[in-house]
Amino acid sequence: MSDRPLIQLVDVSKVYHLESGDFTALDHVSLSIEENEFVAIMGPSGSGKSTMMNQLGILDVPTSGQLLMDGKNVATMTNLERTHMRRDIIGYIFQKFYLILLLSAYENVEYPLILRHKQRDTTGKAWAVLKSVGFDEAMSAHRPN
Ligand SMILES: Nc1ncnc2c1ncn2[C@@H]1O[C@H](COP(=O)(O)OP(=O)(O)O)[C@@H](O)[C@H]1O
Ligand SMILES: [Mg+2]
């Protein structure tokens, strides 16, 4: 375990520029999350939870302030490095899931492993996680719909 936070927001603001004027969705937010820490972000609708999650998932960039991942400033990373970080380090479950409708449940779970290793999963990892949430082989063959 490293001595620095795994995820750190430093004085992060996010301003949306609208025709009606600027709207500040995140107003100088600082937050540190340690390895193995479990954090819930709560607040009323429109309070900026999704805006903050988009920052933490490196799906959006702050208007000002910094996002550090394992001590590394995301702003100084190349696009490819950010892509690898999203692929290898960050697990992100969207409210709308965004499962790939053409793929089976098994293939949806296996897909990030294929992106990473450029081959089908031979380690059994995809099966293991499906089994851990109660999926048997028949269910794993179903497509999302
Ligand atoms: N892409 C956007 N463009 C303009 N305003 C936005 C955008 N996304 C969110 N907002 C505004 O920012 C505020 C926070 O939204 P959001 O982060 O979705 O809140 P929450 O997830 O807590 O409901 C809301 O007022 C919302 O209308
Ligand atoms: Mg939301």
Higher pLDDT, residue 1 or 125: 125
Confidence band for 8, pLDDT divided at 50, 70 and 90? very high
Return the domain boundaries, the chain. Answer: 7-88, 105-140
Query: Letter for the amino acid at 72?
Result: K
Tell me, yes or no, if the pTM score tops 0.75: yes
What is the CATH code for 7-88?
Answer: 3.40.50.300
Q: Would the CB of 13 count as within 6 Å of ligand 1?
A: no
- pLDDT tens for residues 66-87? 999 989 999 999 999 999 999 9
pLDDT digits (tens, 9 = 90+) for 133-142: 999 999 999 9
Which ligand is nearest the CA of 48, by number? 1
- Alpha carbon nearest to ligand 1 atom 27, residue: 46
pLDDT at 92: 87
Question: End-to-end alpha-carbon separation of the chain, Å?
Answer: 40
In angstroms, rounded to a whole number, what is the distance separating the alpha carbons of residues 28 and 39?
19
Residues near ion ligand 2 (Cβ under 5 Å): 49-50
pLDDT-based confidence at 2, cuts 50/70/90? Answer: low
Percentage of the chain lying above the pLDDT 70 cut = 99
> Alpha-carbon distance 29 to 31, whole Å?
7
Kindly state if the Cβ of 86 falls inside 6 Å of ligand 1: no
| CB of 51 sitting under 6 A from ligand 1 | yes
